[in-house]
Chain A
Amino acid sequence: MDSSLPVQAYVPEIHPTGLIPFLLLLLGGIACLVVDAATGKEGSRRYLPWIAGGTLLASITCFFLRLVPGEVFLEDTFRADAFGQLASIIILASTFVMTTMGPSLVRRRNLPSGEFYTLILFASLGMTLLAISNELLTAFISLEVFALSLYVLVGIDRRSRKAAEACFKYFVLGAFASAFLVFGIAFLYGAAHTTFLTEMAEVFRQGYVESVGPEGAVTEIPVNTMYVFVGFAFMFVGICFKLSLAPFHMWAPDVYQGGNMPAVMVVATASKVAAFAFLVHLVEALSYWQGFASGAVYIVTAVAVVSMLWGNLAALVQTNFRRMMAFSSVAHSGYMTVGILVLVALPGLMSGAELEAGQLLIRQAVILYMAGYTVMNILAFGVAYYIGGGGHMAAYRGLVYRRPLPAAGMAIAMFSLVGIGFTPPTIGFMGKFYIFKEAVQVGFVGIAVIALLASVISAFYYLNLVVTMFMRAETKPAEAPLAGTPEAPVQVGGELLARVVLVTACVLIFVFGIFPQLFIGLGETLVNGAVR
């Protein structure tokens, strides 16, 4: 290139191939609507699962074909680093599992299948875009796209009183949270004069904004500390709602209990992975602001500690499996927030290449934890869905004698969810190990100890479920729910795909637990070989 040219034509950096996986999801969703309208009830029930599932698999394949560039693209709007790409793949895998559960749910509850599969695809579009977004407005819109889809999916069973209530609570608190998020974005915009996270990081690193006045005079406006903190605090509260971090977790138990199981599974796994990926990118940008750590560490520590302790203690006394899993997910979000805490503190401790290496390690630890959390929850919720029983603990009494394989799967999930002490070869252990190790290395020994104690508490209720499954049922096990009610068990027999998915989840728990580097290495491979 001739660099002596004084003016170069402006070439927008779009990388159109990077958009293919997301456009696929959008087109797949529209295709579902069209096919639903064209084929009628029976036809759409037959074809839509294949369209939706195929679209999701094709979208995942795009990531493996390295179509998505491993850095910022579409004019800096998206940043698909290894972390973001792995998060997207986790999200798509989770929504794929939901489509495999779809046919039985749609048939049993007589749901409108067109809306069901379309909303799954739109939700996965929103979540993947949020996970890689590098711009606050894009992040907000992506968040709303998936949130609005998930509100409807949770309450799609319109005849169920419980589902209506769960959907209502999810919507009201979700809308409340997104208002917080927008208000926070406004103040960060006021502080940094930009909504792009990479530019924001640059502004915070140098501490002032260069503003060009009307006469072309460049003035340096210092960053307003108050705006940064107000902006972060409000955005953090908004994201805490989405992650069901205590004390903003009130919706979680009700939604988990009232919503249909496949939707709840996606709310518990994919939506949290997306929000968490965004939070990591946001905190990374903000942490360059000198003095950010001094204030933010307290906010983040408080939320993490309260979530870990309250989540686990409240889960101890739950008598419903779904409510127990809700509080368990509060606690797991708390463990992951320890990773955020390290990210906040890191720029105060090191700089340059060392800092980048440290941030990379944290991102890897967090993504490994999120992958583990997703796989474990898919397995737990999947088994619970196919067992039926509406989450009542009675359904699990003596399960191992009635249905040994699902019971074994549930036991594996529970052991992995405990994640300490005697469960080393599981991914739940490795995820926790890496995050706590980073926390200790940065000097948050106290937090790591609290996290370990909280994990010990969690062993009681997870293992309690395992013990329940091994107890002989004295009476006839089922106060058998009537067929056709949401509580009625689903026979796994006809659903080969569902069985394959759950067995895969079991295998992944051990494979990634023994070889965590496989998963992290996958991210590096995706990015470093990416097509520019």
Chain B
Amino acid sequence: MEPVFQANLILSTLLFTIGVLGVMWKRNAISLFMSVELMLNAANLAFVTFAFQLGLLSGGILVLFIMTVAAAEAGVGLAIFIALFRVHRHIRVDEQDMLRG
């Protein structure tokens, strides 16, 4: 039980790190958003791991809520990307530089 628990936590931390690096390095908005989803799912894995180890039900329920929120976020996010694409004709992050002091 214990090694599995540790391994799951380490996996979840790794996934989260990959997500963070993805947000920092990726230049396409869609890949960037995929990295954010990876981070959210890393957190979900951590929730399930803790819930399983502690024998609590609540962790699993939390995951369901977080997945729902992630879906809502995806809905709004993709709509924003489409709106951005309509006025800019691209969704590359590093070329968003109209706003500056």
Contacts and interface: CB of A to CB of B under 8 A. Distances in A.
A319 B100 CA distance: 10
Contact of B56 (A187, A193, A253, A254): A193
B76 A171 contact: yes
A187 B79 CA distance: 32
Contacts of A211: 54-55
B50 A189 contact: yes
B40 A182 contact: yes
A172 B32 contact: yes
A28 interface: no
Nearest to B62: A137
Interface in B45-101: 46-47, 49-50, 53-56, 58-59, 62, 65-66, 69, 72-73, 76-77, 79-81, 83-84, 86-88, 91, 93, 96, 98-101
A183 B42 contact: yes
Contact of B96 (A155, A169, A175): A169
Contacts of B88: 161, 164-165
B65 A162 contact: no
B101 A320 contact: yes
Interface in A387-444: none
Interface residues of A, number: 46
A158 B83 contact: yes
A195 interface: yes
A167 B83 contact: yes
A257 B29 CA distance: 21
A137 B65 contact: yes
A208 interface: no
Contact of B87 (A141, A159, A179): A159
A500 B79 CA distance: 37
B84 A168 contact: yes
Contacts of A164: 83-84, 86-88
Q: Which of A140, A155, A159, A178 has the most CB of B within 10 A?
A: A178
A323 B101 contact: yes
B80 A161 contact: no
A161 B87 contact: yes
A348 interface: no
Nearest to B32: A172
Interface in A170-219: 171-172, 175-176, 178-180, 182-183, 185-187, 189-190, 193-195, 211
A258 B99 contact: yes
A318 interface: yes
Interface residues of B, number: 46
Interface in A241-280: 253-254, 257-258
A172 B29 contact: yes
Contact of A166 (B50, B72, B77, B99): B99
Nearest to A323: B101
B43 A158 contact: no
B76 A186 contact: no
A58 interface: no
Nearest to A182: B43
Contact of A148 (B65, B76, B100): B76
B88 to A, nearest CB: 7
A194 B36 CA distance: 25
B10 to A, nearest CB: 13
Interface in A84-119: none
Nearest to A156: B83
Contacts of B55: 211
B76 to A, nearest CB: 5
B54 to A, nearest CB: 5
B80 A151 contact: yes
Closest A-B pairs by Cβ, 10 of them: A179-B39, A186-B46, A190-B50, A182-B43, A183-B43, A254-B99, A175-B36, A164-B84, A323-B101, A186-B47
17 contacts: A151-B76, A155-B83, A165-B96, A166-B99, A168-B96, A169-B96, A171-B77, A176-B36, A178-B40, A179-B40, A182-B43, A189-B47, A189-B58, A190-B46, A193-B54, A195-B58, A195-B62
Interface of B: 12, 16, 19, 23, 29, 32-33, 36, 39-40, 42-44, 46-47, 49-50, 53-56, 58-59, 62, 65-66, 69, 72-73, 76-77, 79-81, 83-84, 86-88, 91, 93, 96, 98-101
